[in-house]
Structure 1
Amino acid sequence: MPTAERERIYERADNKGWKKWGPYLSERAWGTVREDYSPYGDAWNFVSHDMARSRAYRWGEEGIGGISDNKGHICFALAFWNHKDNIIKERLFGLAGPEGNHGEDVKELYYYLDSTPTHSYMKMLYKYPQQEFPYNRLVIESSRRNRQEPEFELTDTGIFDKDEYFDIFIEYAKADQNDWLVTITAHNRSATEAPLTLLPTIWFRNTWSWGYEQYNSRPMLNGIANNQIEVNHKQLGKYKLYCEDADALLFCDNDTNSERLYGRPNVSKYTKDGINNYIVSGGKKSFINPNQIGTKASAQYTRMVPAGGSVSVRLRFSDQTTMTGPFDDFDDIWKNRLDEADAFYADLQKNVQDTELLAIQRQAYAGMLWSKQFYYYNVNEWLKGDPKMPVPFQGRVYARNETWRHMYTANILSMPDKWEYPWFAAWDLAFHTLTLARLDPHFAKRQLAVILREYYMHPNGQIPAYEWNFSDVNPPVHAWATWKVYEIDKEQNGVGDVNFLERVFHKLLLNFTWWVNRKDVSGNNIFGGGFLGLDNIGVFDRSQPLPMGGRIEQADGTGWMAMYTLNMLRIACEISLTRPSYQDMASKFFEHFLHIASAMNNLGKQNISLWDEVDQFYYDVLHMPDHNARLLKIRSMVGLIPLFAVEILDESLLSQLPDFKRRVEWVLTNRPDLASLVSRWHEPGKGETHLLSLLRGHRMKMILKRMFDETEFLSDYGIRALSKYHEKTPYQFELNSEIFQVRYVAAESEMSMFGGNSNWRGPIWFPVNFLLIDSLLKFYQYYGDDFEIEYPTHSGHVMSVKEATLLVIERLLNIFRRDDSGRIAAFGADRKMQNDPHFKDLYLFYEYFNGDNGMGLGASHQTGWTGLVADLIEYLYKYQTQPQELAVGTEK
């Protein structure tokens, strides 16, 4: 019987009903491309953190632990004041890209602890220092450090050393679709009492200041006594925010303080920063509207929190008019929603037996659900500038995304990280959908469909990459994600959504054609797609023209495309079961795959191929302007990506697709050269299956030999992006007396390429690790237990591919699990996080991880693709019920 939460999910598949309201606020709108109206594209400085409290945003909003409706019109979030800072804590602080020694970096401690898919219950934690927040020290020390030094984090300042901080828990529960209950509980972790002002804040996104007639009318907030705020919005209607036992209600307008920022007259007397100025000035009433009206309002709760004690406040936001008090049924509703959340996860996690893994998985799910965001961007309007602005628009000398004027986005999207990456990234999003599909398959499917809609996808078929440059090239993983989401949905519901497959398939055809026409320069089925998301993995910046001219034929670009063809083949086969005409499309992708595989495995005109027989590994090929070619012998993830191109077709499927089967057999009979290179089609594997792969048994074993070598790719915590071989033996390329070098770097990037905030030269990344695991399990499906490999290489232990793959999963999970000494690798040497009872059970899902010690690096809340840890836990129990009983192999 489905749980109450599962039933709510299926009431409406889109973002309406119970999903109309959710955690859709960004955590950072300042420093983003959308808010940048500078002539030269200087986003980080056009609206800075210091300016953010005073400038109304055009395209989005931000807040701490905030919620909004699905179009971001009405927003609610929390602000705090510790009675020491010179500004209230209204938004999360972090370093702009140029300020950090490894790029942008949030400098706060906050954790997503729980959420249901409809957000009927949500919980997060913010840790707020009682002493003055070290804003300046974080900036100064970070600017002093170079790229070879680690980042200077908030805990490094010592601000938490004496436990002088508040743990502020922010919780929501829905009584109904438009009826929210809010509880804010602040725990004083210090040995002395401390003052705290809580400021639950409601406001309207500013739609009225930009000169568009249809948005000229202002919505209105109106205070009643000290405990109610009436909310009137033309599109959304009327609501009330009930503020139990508030000290006061404070009102201003969500309008820019042009006088402070630009020396120009203000439109509103009570500007966006009015509540901030009122609080920190000690209560100067000139900053807030005495009539208790405006477009931004806070309920003020100033409390003395006892040592080791806590205070709690309750609010309710509702469109309901009741005869009883708004808090009379509060506790009963709260308990019901919490019980329903526990019941939902008890059902979802029923296969997981380990209590530590249960906790890791549930927080990973919470992070995925909290990372939704309303993303609004009309590129054409943004490029032209608005009729009215706080300062006159000077135009754009550098018109970022000029060729994407068709884009008009106004959707709830899954974000990589709502502070560091508060904009969608196409290939990140594809990975998010796998984890989201287990929670809410409707939402996951919608994410894949919307990114391919005509108002996203370029008319030429390109999928937009990310806000800073929609034209960058990301790996083509959307077909893979589409098939995985389809499988997860089918497993949960017992029936596959073929209509979803068909809808997405047609759009992917356009994108596939773009790849073939734009990224196969010579028309020889070898691809060079740009950096492909692997930022600085190569000797050159692959997003830019080569300094010596020429071009690179990429092992990863070609591997990705081989994978793409097989994904499309599998989707076409599935659709063909009910729409037989799609067998023609299945045949088309089967043959296209054969030609890519042939190109990868054969010598080209320069007598050189992507596979190097000496090293038994795949490399990129550099074609020089003088027509000479050479292998770029870098042992990196680039050479492992061909493993991703694998698909299994079984006889039962083929027997239902007679036209496709007949065409396959004709091709293999008449082109034996292709058949012998690609797969042993006429040698069925385990369970009468057929293997389609770039790798036959020998080459696969050679690649796995390197991948499972602990002196190369295999870390104690997963598969590194670059072989550790290059630590002592860097790859060097000389050009005009200049040496270009690739050296293994286990942690943060030592280079400024891509802002210096991303490194694929050693760390462990979850998305590619997950793809490797998914591919290896497909190989096992074909080969079974008879195909044995040594794991780790040189250990003498021989086992099946499945056993080795599960042990890789164990290593990835060891990033988050406590080891025998009680340490969590992701926390590194941070004693507070390792040992403190108020820290040690709180997980952060980082962007990537140190290739040697598993420490978390990069964006600290990139639950998006690192949330795949939840799926790895499912894989562990699916393929081996008791993980502690994994075989270590037999020594030979």
Structure 2
Amino acid sequence: MNEQSRQAERTRLAESDAPTAPWRLWGPYLAGRQWGTVREDYSAGGDAWTSFPFDHARSRAYRWGEDGIAGICDVHGFLNLSVALWNGRDPILKERYFGLTNDEGNHGEDVKEHWWVTDGTPTHSWMQVVYRYPQAEFPYAELRETAKRAGRNEREPELSDTGALDENRFFDVRISYAKAGPKDICVELTATNHGPDPAPLHLLPQLWFRNTWAWGRDDRMPNLTARTRDGWRRITAEHGALGRYTLHVEGTPTLLVTDNETNEVELFGTPRNPTRYTKDGIDRYVVGRDAKACQVIGPDDTSESGTKVAAWYSFDPVEPGESVTVRLRLVEGDGHLDAFGPSFQDTVDQRKAEADEFHHTDLDPKRAAVVRRALAGLMWNKQHYRFRTREWLDGDPAQPAAPTSRKNMHARNAHWRHFDVADVISMPDEWEYPWFAAWDLAFHTVPFAKVDPAFAKEQLLLLCREWLMHPNGQLPAYEWEFGDVNPPVHAWAALQVYRSEENKDRKFLAKIFHKLLLNFSWWVNRKDADGSYLFEGGFLGMDNIGPVNRSEPMLGQWRLEQSDATSWMAAYSLHLMQIALELARHDESYEDVATKFVEHFLSIAEASTQFGSGGRGIWDETDGFCYDVVSRRRPDGHVESQPVRVRSMVGLIPVLACAVLEPWVFEELPDFARRLEHLLSKRPELRQFLSRSGGGALLSLLDERKLRRVLGRMLDEGEFLSPHGIRSLSAAHREGLEVQVADQEHRMGYEPGESRTPMFGGNSNWRGPVWFPTNALLVEALRTIEEFHGGRFHVELPTRSTRHVTAGRAADELVGRLVSLFLPDHDGRRPADGKRIESTDSPLWREHVTFSEYFDGDTGEGLGATHQTGWTALVASLLTDRRQTGAVGEANE
């Protein structure tokens, strides 16, 4: 490969800093699921799952987005391209992934399909996905019934449990996208029959426009015109904003034309439909054999127009081991003179080779493959997200009036009427979480910075824009309730992204710093109402980690002072201090702000040790651990308090509140150094939170004695340390425990796998499993300790083993345990595959690694969302961290 090819993707990145730059115009921005989302819920009761169920999706036009299998769209979400399939047996076309709703699944919502993102580059010049399609009739009803009968203590029923995949009776459909230019996309669909018998397969790539015209706000209509002529098929797309595109279709498939309009007669029993042809017309024609359901274009020189078109390829049968291929080419303008000539294959080969070079690493092949797959999945999770809350609450002029329940301030997201977004955003998961979440997204940007720093920075700034951030400074949490509170990790992520670039982008750092000042003020004013420097953030993204719902008010005038909320804010103060110090190196006016944040950190640190009965704070000397505390003021003025004695991740979060003041701070910023020393001389009791050594200093919420005791529990294999990372709840609670919270007894215990409670939907569990985001932060804290102490700070690993290692080595070994989830063990099985079908001996399953939402605290099995869950891509950052000592590899041998 020549040098020009070697640098090709990096050159494209350099040309594509802006979100709408040409090379970013087209990408995997089509959602994996649009139905069952808050955006599409226009019900009076706010039940998104039943308001727009899966069974409506094929026949009902979406208001805010679109979905499809392995599809792409433009950055504005106007024109969409994806693949539909039919095996001759299914009752409906396979146009979108099927899964159970929150009420149907025994552990919450859960997709029941298999697909893997196998490769990709940041500008989406190259993308590849494999979808596994059963040859038997897809067991929709059986999956629903099996889950309905299952209890919370049982495993989730999976597609493989139905027998639909037995004897490899499935097609692997590999969908590849290769850009010949920013607006010239070569598409290749190759389906392989892995079963023992011949089987029919129908491939129906579809091109359609999002419905923007049926709502009474913009009646302009785009148009798709399908044409056939001797030996060729073309579909021309005309759109007022997007312009003209042509989809070339290889071969002579039948073209089916309909409109992306709701079938109101079928769904709602109305006398007539708004148009003759409806969204489900192609499905009704192919599967239902309704000859009048859509317009059909055969081999003659004809054309028809609509807003949704499919090219119907029928392969009957496909022999065992045989592959069939369909090729398409989407290009701007009137078309391509030689769409499927040599340039097509040359483009595919070239982009694949450029991707190989772009992802080249010195890691051993197994670890390099984990990094590449994790990044590919993360990049695929970008979706066009459109939501204008004001219009959603008020309803559309051409639709039925919004229910009165949406007019009051108790309606979902009623306090976020300013929210107005239409951007490409990184999603937590393509199917289960097809909406952004604030703290998930912050973690996504860290691995993104490894390959696409411009996108990472744009995403962090996006959530701080005035059309997303609340006027009071709060960041929107997630679609189900923008007003919920996620941990304040934005500043930490901004620092990680800033530090990852060789050419430091101080402009980005200053821009996000100014916005985060508003967010910090919101935290101080809303979550520390009495000015005590103690915080009550609510569930803080860790769902059911406590014995009670921490987002609900306490009874009997009790209030909950949270160990994690207080510690998150201490860490937030330090991160903003570090940003201010970095900016102060070039603008001395930031020194004053840095001083403000170090003072705020010290005030939080002091308060965390002094409130409550006996002034114990969140620290418990007897247990050597940190706990949430409930407290109330009695009529006599005495403050009564009691710790919530559950050893969980909330007691490890204080470890994260640490930061190094490097020697340059004291050398280059004398005003900051002088003010810090002045503060400590006036209040010597604060010196317990600062250590000095070698011209630098360490600020830490936990002094060295407390830190060692907490780490002793964290690194205890009988408590938090699992073979695959740090558990979210101590395994010492295996037998359960009774805990008193605000005069009431509650029972909970260690649950290493799926959640056994319905709290927050029950589809996530923080009572024992390993979660990547908090593990990555704990690794970073250990590296911070190593940075300050060098090789002088040792911990016992595991606890009671008499084996002592440095903090840096402990970080490396923790990374090794996390990485081991995705690497074959001595039996050739990946722990993350658990007992699922992926763990079988078949190479067809073994070749695909999944990146789940979280992992069983004992076995490492992947749980929750299992399709490229975003923050688990942190494994790519952990594996490529330059600060490793070599223990990462050793831990897996």
Matching residue of 1:294: 306
Which amino acid is 1:359 matched to?
Answer: A
Alignment gaps of 5+ in structure 1: none
Report the Cα offset of residue 33 of structure 1. Answer: 0.3
TM-score, normalised on structure 1? 0.95
Matching residue of 1:110: 115
Alignment gaps of 5+ in structure 2: 298-302
The counterpart of 2:330, out of the listed 317, 342, 346, is 317
Residues 311-333 of structure 1 deviation map (CA, whole Å, 9 limit, x = unaligned): 01100000155673111111111
The counterpart of 2:584, out of the listed 576, 581, 589, is 576
Report the Cα offset of residue 606 of structure 1. Answer: 5.5
How does 1:422-821 map onto structure 2 within 5 Å?
422-489=434-501, 494-604=502-612, 607-624=615-632, 626=634, 627-675=639-687, 677-680=688-691, 683-685=692-694, 688-733=695-740, 739-821=745-827
Residues 601-639 of structure 1 deviation map (CA, whole Å, 9 limit, x = unaligned): 234466331101111111111014644211111100000
Report the Cα offset of residue 884 of structure 1. Answer: 4.2
Report the Cα offset of residue 883 of structure 1. Answer: 4.1
Aligned equivalents of 2:534 and 2:549: distance in 1?
19
Aligned equivalents of 1:885 and 1:139: distance in 2?
44
The counterpart of 1:217, out of the listed 216, 221, 228, is 221
Report the Cα offset of residue 340 of structure 1. Answer: 1.0
Asked whether the 8 Å contact 1:719–1:769 carries over to 2, the reply is yes
How does 1:195-234 map onto structure 2 within 5 Å?
195-212=200-217, 214-225=218-229, 227-234=233-240
Distance change >3 Å, CA 323–CA 278, structure 1 → 2:
closer
Report the Cα offset of residue 662 of structure 1. Answer: 1.6
- 1:838 and 2:844 are equivalent in the alignment: yes
Tell me which moved more, 722-731 or 771-780.
722-731
Matching residue of 2:55: 50
The counterpart of 1:119, out of the listed 124, 131, 135, is 124
Asked whether the 8 Å contact 1:407–1:455 carries over to 2, the reply is yes
Asked whether the 8 Å contact 2:646–2:739 carries over to 1, the reply is no
Residues 307-357 of structure 1 deviation map (CA, whole Å, 9 limit, x = unaligned): 1111011000001556731111111111111111111111xxx242x2111
- 1:339 and 2:353 are equivalent in the alignment: yes
Report the Cα offset of residue 111 of structure 1. Answer: 0.4
- 1:396 and 2:400 are equivalent in the alignment: no
Aligned equivalents of 1:607 and 1:805: distance in 2?
33
Aligned equivalents of 1:732 and 1:519: distance in 2?
25
Aligned equivalents of 1:748 and 1:323: distance in 2?
52
Residues 643-679 of structure 1 deviation map (CA, whole Å, 9 limit, x = unaligned): 111111111233111221221121122221112x201
Matching residue of 1:306: 319
The counterpart of 1:68, out of the listed 69, 73, 77, is 73
Distance change >3 Å, CA 246–CA 826, structure 1 → 2:
farther
Tell me which moved more, 155-164 or 641-650.
155-164
Residues 278-297 of structure 1 deviation map (CA, whole Å, 9 limit, x = unaligned): 11023624433665210000
Which amino acid is 2:621 matched to?
Answer: E
Matching residue of 1:25: 30
Which amino acid is 2:489 matched to?
Answer: V
Asked whether the 8 Å contact 2:118–2:128 carries over to 1, the reply is yes
Tell me which moved more, 7-16 or 402-411.
7-16
Aligned equivalents of 1:32 and 1:221: distance in 2?
31
Secondary structure at 1:879 match in 2: coil
Which amino acid is 1:784 matched to?
Answer: G
Distance change >3 Å, CA 643–CA 833, structure 1 → 2:
same
Asked whether the 8 Å contact 2:816–2:891 carries over to 1, the reply is no
- 1:163 and 2:168 are equivalent in the alignment: yes
Aligned equivalents of 2:800 and 2:427: distance in 1?
41
Asked whether the 8 Å contact 1:209–1:216 carries over to 2, the reply is no
TM-score, normalised on structure 2? 0.95
Aligned equivalents of 2:597 and 2:506: distance in 1?
19
Aligned equivalents of 1:853 and 1:376: distance in 2?
39
Secondary structure at 1:251 match in 2: strand
How does 1:65-144 map onto structure 2 within 5 Å?
65-144=70-149
Aligned equivalents of 1:641 and 1:812: distance in 2?
18
Aligned equivalents of 2:346 and 2:868: distance in 1?
35
Residues 62-112 of structure 1 deviation map (CA, whole Å, 9 limit, x = unaligned): 000010001100011110000000101000000011100110000000000
Secondary structure at 1:203 match in 2: strand
Tell me which moved more, 739-748 or 430-439.
739-748
Distance change >3 Å, CA 883–CA 403, structure 1 → 2:
closer
Residues 15-60 of structure 1 deviation map (CA, whole Å, 9 limit, x = unaligned): 2210010000111111000000001101100110001100000001
Secondary structure at 1:315 match in 2: strand
Report the Cα offset of residue 522 of structure 1. Answer: 2.4
The counterpart of 1:413, out of the listed 425, 439, 445, is 425
Secondary structure at 2:630 match in 1: strand
Asked whether the 8 Å contact 1:64–1:77 carries over to 2, the reply is yes
Secondary structure at 1:431 match in 2: helix
Distance change >3 Å, CA 271–CA 459, structure 1 → 2:
same
Distance change >3 Å, CA 443–CA 211, structure 1 → 2:
same
Matching residue of 2:300: none
Q: Number of residues paired by the alignment? A: 871
Residues 730-783 of structure 1 deviation map (CA, whole Å, 9 limit, x = unaligned): 2422777x6412211011111111011111100000000000001111101111
Matching residue of 2:249: 243
The counterpart of 2:368, out of the listed 331, 348, 358, is 358
Report the Cα offset of residue 881 of structure 1. Answer: 4.3
Aligned equivalents of 2:97 and 2:566: distance in 1?
41
Tell me which moved more, 179-188 or 536-545.
536-545
Asked whether the 8 Å contact 1:78–1:200 carries over to 2, the reply is yes
Matching residue of 1:13: 17
Tell me which moved more, 373-382 or 241-250.
241-250
Asked whether the 8 Å contact 2:782–2:810 carries over to 1, the reply is no
Which amino acid is 2:700 matched to?
Answer: S
Asked whether the 8 Å contact 2:170–2:194 carries over to 1, the reply is yes
Secondary structure at 2:71 match in 1: strand
Residues 812-841 of structure 1 deviation map (CA, whole Å, 9 limit, x = unaligned): 111111111111111112355332111102
Secondary structure at 2:327 match in 1: strand
Report the Cα offset of residue 267 of structure 1. Answer: 0.6
How does 1:864-879 map onto structure 2 within 5 Å?
864-875=870-881, 878-879=883-884
Report the Cα offset of residue 159 of structure 1. Answer: 1.3
Aligned equivalents of 1:487 and 1:120: distance in 2?
27
